[in-house]
């Protein structure tokens, strides 16, 4: 497999065993004392051990921070800041799924600032308060193909006080280098391959549907969906297929590149439910996907027509896309309703109100009211499509 070298949207190395280039990437980035931010379940794997050994042999001073879980919290970012400062680190190497990459980027932004994390919430020009010279460089190595956080300029962090997720943003949070190495993803179990892969689909799909004008992002989104259509079922059934794993990593980076155009109600609801129930973000998007599509269907006619042609679906237009999404979810054994994830209707009003306020809501094709969010939530809860 050829090693490719890309510069959009950041510097990206793609290919089998691309992670063996990490030391030279550190040298290019002038990182001598990297803090590894790694999912604790990965820290002892052979792949990570060889990466650490290579760094030691190159006389890099390393430490590992792994005191966090899925849906990382503000408190966990604080602990990471302490580890960064105590170890006098000069860069972050974030390895793992979305949680590792998001918390790694947040630590890089905030560890050396005088402001606290929440002061960089993605509201107005908050990010301009940061001293950009104090933001540490980040090298990102995703081990799942879903979040695309490796090419994003934001992190999603849970505020445990108000039980919501907040988006932390700064343009310099974009990793300086990304390494897409399919060998790091082969051990991902099938159910997580499905959930993360469908998160990547939700990014491409919501970005494509979002009404703002960005033809480049739109073009990336439809090709991202084509790759997912071709390769997600293969990666799900044969996790060792390196071609499928590579293409899914690329589709995932494409999704996050595309969603600079906007997200929508899938993510508005998934953020809300993820913060309240601590459920997997990709799985929530996967379950919510057809219900949100149905809520937006009257505004998507022309776009779905084009998409169905590009994806060469059996049926044209919105119905063709919906049928494909439902079929793919079924093939990947994704539950059809939120109730199957243990969610109930007791907090439906609060959930709808919180989703309405979520930053992702503004990218939805139409403005959904609180009542409409509540209706979508109830359809998804009960597994009934509003056709
Ligand atoms: Fe997502």
Nearest to 328 by CA among 384, 290, 284, 271: 290
State mean pLDDT over 364-377: 97
Distance 7 CA to ligand 1 centre (A): 23
Looking at the chain, list the stretches that DSSP marks H as alpha helix, in order from N- to C-terminal side.
22-28, 46-57, 74-86, 98-110, 190-209, 215-237, 242-258, 265-277, 281-296, 301-310, 317-331, 348-357, 370-382
Distance 361 CA to ligand 1 centre (A): 13
DSSP letters, 262-308, are ---HHHHHHHHHHHHH---HHHHHHHHHHHHHHHHGGG-HHHHHHHH
Query: Distance of CA 240 to CAs 70, 124, 198, 244, Å?
Result: 24, 44, 19, 8
346 vs 163: CA distance, rounded Å: 16
Of how many residues is the chain composed? 387
Q: What is the pLDDT of residues 31-61, one digit of tens each?
A: 999 999 999 888 888 889 999 999 999 999 9
Q: How confident is the model at residue 251 (pLDDT cuts 50, 70, 90)?
A: very high
Partners of 11 in beta bridges: 177
| Token pair belonging to 264 | 């929508």
Q: Place domain 190-382 in its CATH homologous superfamily.
A: Dehydroquinate synthase-like - alpha domain (1.20.1090.10)
321 vs 281: CA distance, rounded Å: 22
pLDDT for res 1: 65
Distance 186 CA to ligand 1 centre (A): 21
| Token pair belonging to 92 | 């972050």
Q: How confident is the model at residue 386 (pLDDT cuts 50, 70, 90)?
A: confident
Half-sphere exposure of 108 (CA within 13 A, CB side): 34
Distance 28 CA to ligand 1 centre (A): 31
Distance 281 CA to ligand 1 centre (A): 6
Distance 378 CA to ligand 1 centre (A): 21
Q: How confident is the model at residue 6 (pLDDT cuts 50, 70, 90)?
A: low
Distance 267 CA to ligand 1 centre (A): 6
Distance 27 CA to ligand 1 centre (A): 32
Distance 25 CA to ligand 1 centre (A): 27
| Non-local CB neighbours of 372 within 8 Å, separated by 6+ positions | 295
Distance 50 CA to ligand 1 centre (A): 30
Q: What is the pLDDT of residues 266-305, one digit of tens each?
A: 999 999 999 899 899 999 999 999 999 999 999 999 999 9
Nearest to 37 by CA among 71, 83, 73: 83
What rounded mean pLDDT belongs to the chain?
A: 95
State mean pLDDT over 66-88: 96
Phi-psi region of 127 (alpha: psi -120 to 50; beta: other; left: phi over 0): alpha
Least confident span in 38-52, 222-236, 373-387: 38-52
Distance 283 CA to ligand 1 centre (A): 10
The ranges assigned to domains in the chain are 4-184, 190-382
Distance 264 CA to ligand 1 centre (A): 10
Residue 138 parent element (H or E): strand 138-142
Residue with structure tokens 């969610």?
A: 343
Distance 263 CA to ligand 1 centre (A): 9
| Comparison of pLDDT for 42 and 145, the residue scoring more | 145
User: SS3 sequence, 51-110?
Assistant: HHHHHHHCCCCCEEECCCCCCCEHHHHHHHHHHHHHCCCCEEEEEECHHHHHHHHHHHHH
Distance 129 CA to ligand 1 centre (A): 27
Q: What is the pLDDT of residues 168-181, one digit of tens each?
A: 999 999 999 999 99
Burial 119-147, CB ≥16 within 10 A → b, else e: ebbbeeebbeebeeeebbbbbbbbbbbbb
Helix 281-296 / helix 370-382 crossing angle, nearest 10 deg: 120
Distance 150 CA to ligand 1 centre (A): 13
What's 338's DSSP letter? G
Task: Please say if the pLDDT value at position 216 is more than 80.
Answer: yes
Distance 286 CA to ligand 1 centre (A): 10
Distance 33 CA to ligand 1 centre (A): 31
Burial 1-31, CB ≥16 within 10 A → b, else e: eeeeeeeebbbbbbbbebbbbbbebbeebeb
Q: How confident is the model at residue 217 (pLDDT cuts 50, 70, 90)?
A: very high
Distance 360 CA to ligand 1 centre (A): 10
Q: How confident is the model at residue 366 (pLDDT cuts 50, 70, 90)?
A: very high
Distance 131 CA to ligand 1 centre (A): 28
Distance 88 CA to ligand 1 centre (A): 32
CATH annotation of 4-184 = 3.40.50.1970
Distance 224 CA to ligand 1 centre (A): 14
Distance 262 CA to ligand 1 centre (A): 12
Q: What is the pLDDT of residues 318-333, one digit of tens each?
A: 999 999 999 999 999 9
Nearest to 318 by CA among 302, 334, 337: 302
| Non-local CB neighbours of 290 within 8 Å, separated by 6+ positions | 322, 325, 326, 329, 385
């Amino acid at each position: 497999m050829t090693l490719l070298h890309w510069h959009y949207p950041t510097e990206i190395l793609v290919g089998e065993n691309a992670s063996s280039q990490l030391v030279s990437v550190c040298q290019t980035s002038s990182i001598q004392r990297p803090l590894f931010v790694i999912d604790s379940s990965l820290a002892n794997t052979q792949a990570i051990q060889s990466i650490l050994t290579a760094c030691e042999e190159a006389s890099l001073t390393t430490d590992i921070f792994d005191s966090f879980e899925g849906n990382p919290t503000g408190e966990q970012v604080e602990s990471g800041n302490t580890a960064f400062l105590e170890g006098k680190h000069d860069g972050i190497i974030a390895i793992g799924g979305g949680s590792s990459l998001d918390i790694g980027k947040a630590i890089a932004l905030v560890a050396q600032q005088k402001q606290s994390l929440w002061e960089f919430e993605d509201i107005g020009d908050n990010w301009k308060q940061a001293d950009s010279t104090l933001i540490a460089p980040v090298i990102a190595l995703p081990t799942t193909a879903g979040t695309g956080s490796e090419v994003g300029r934001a992190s999603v962090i849970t505020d445990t006080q108000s039980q919501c997720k907040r988006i932390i943003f700064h343009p310099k949070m974009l990793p300086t280098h990304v390494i897409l190495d399919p060998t790091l993803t082969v051990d991902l179990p099938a159910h997580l391959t499905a959930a993360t892969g469908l998160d990547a689909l939700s990014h491409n799909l919501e970005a494509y549907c979002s009404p703002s004008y960005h033809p480049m992002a739109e073009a990336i989104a439809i090709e991202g969906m084509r790759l997912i259509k071709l390769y997600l079922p293969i990666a799900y059934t044969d996790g060792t297929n390196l071609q499928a794993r590579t293409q899914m990593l690329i589709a995932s980076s494409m999704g996050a590149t595309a969603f600079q155009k906007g997200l929508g109600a899938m993510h508005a609801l998934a953020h809300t439910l993820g913060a309240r129930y601590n459920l997997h973000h990709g799985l929530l998007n996967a379950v919510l996907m057809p219900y949100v599509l149905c809520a937006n269907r009257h505004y998507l006619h022309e776009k779905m027509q084009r998409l169905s042609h590009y994806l060469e679906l059996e049926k044209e237009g919105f119905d063709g896309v919906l049928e494909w999404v439902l079929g793919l979810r079924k093939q990947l054994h994704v539950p059809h309703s939120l109730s199957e994830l243990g969610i109930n209707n007791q907090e439906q009003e609060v959930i709808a109100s919180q989703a309405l306020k979520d930053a992702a809501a503004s990218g939805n094709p139409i403005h959904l009211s609180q009542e409409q969010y509540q209706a979508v939530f109830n359809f998804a809860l009960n597994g009934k499509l509003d056709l």
